[in-house]
A and B are shown apart, each in its own frame.
Chain A
Amino acid sequence: DIQMTQSPSSLSASVGDTVTITCRASQGISNFLAWFQQKPGKAPKSLIYAASSLQSGVPSRFSGSGSGTDFTLSISSLQPEDFATYYCQQYNNYPFTFGPGTKVDIK
């Protein structure tokens, strides 16, 4: 199975900050990488697919990049509604696997 790691596991930031989350795959996955946002007690929300393509309706302050094994999710001008846990997921190989999550909370 492909192992996904994320760093940091948590971070504290202020409204207006830019934050970057890193996701690494244990082997190359081309650009078959998605990012999800989850708030406590809620279902995940799809943010990005194919490493850098925004899902419909996702604000442009979210951006993704990377290919192969190393990927990043950036959130510019952090808004109050962005405080949540973020997961990366590879869908290049079965089983599809997720990173452990990065919790973004308010400083």
Chain B
Amino acid sequence: EVQLVDSGGGLVKPGRSLRLSCTTSGFTFGDYAMSWFRQAPGKGLEWVGYLRTKSYGGTTQYAASVKGRFTISRDDSKSIAYLEMNSLKTEDTAVYYCTRDLFGSGGLVITDWGQGTLVTVSS
């Protein structure tokens, strides 16, 4: 069974950093791209960024709102994806979800979602 477990959220002050983890099981992690999305309280879904597999160069793409502050990485040996968040702002407050994605000629197809982890940025 495919499982994605998001963790690492919590309360953090503006300007500080936080690292989220997406611990996975039930599939060959290295064969899949991984993305992060977020949802502010009572709002819709927002794409944060994604990380391709090593076979596709392991390259990343980010939303403009987080580019330069957030970094997505992966440890294929541990089947974990990370979202490193620096210089956090109050507007980064949201539930963060990781996803498992298929990437290829058909674009980036999201297949599975983690349960989400809440990040609250407040002084």
User: Residues on A close to B: CB < 8 A?
Assistant: 32, 34, 36, 38, 42-46, 49-50, 55-56, 87, 89, 91-92, 94-101
- Tally of B interface residues using CB under 8 Å: 20
CA distance A91 to B101 in the complex (A): 12
Prevailing SS type, chain B contact patch: strand
Q: Which 5 residue pairs of A and B lie closest in terms of their CB atoms, listed nearest first?
A: A96-B47, A43-B113, A49-B109, A98-B45, A95-B63
The verdict on B112 contacting chain A, using a C-beta distance below 8 Å, is yes
Q: Are A100 and B109 in contact (CB under 8 A)?
A: no
Residue of A with least CB distance to B102: A49
CA distance A55 to B99 in the complex (A): 14
- Which one of A42, A50, A87 lies within 8 Å of B45 (CB-CB)? A87
Q: Are A92 and B61 in contact (CB under 8 A)?
A: no
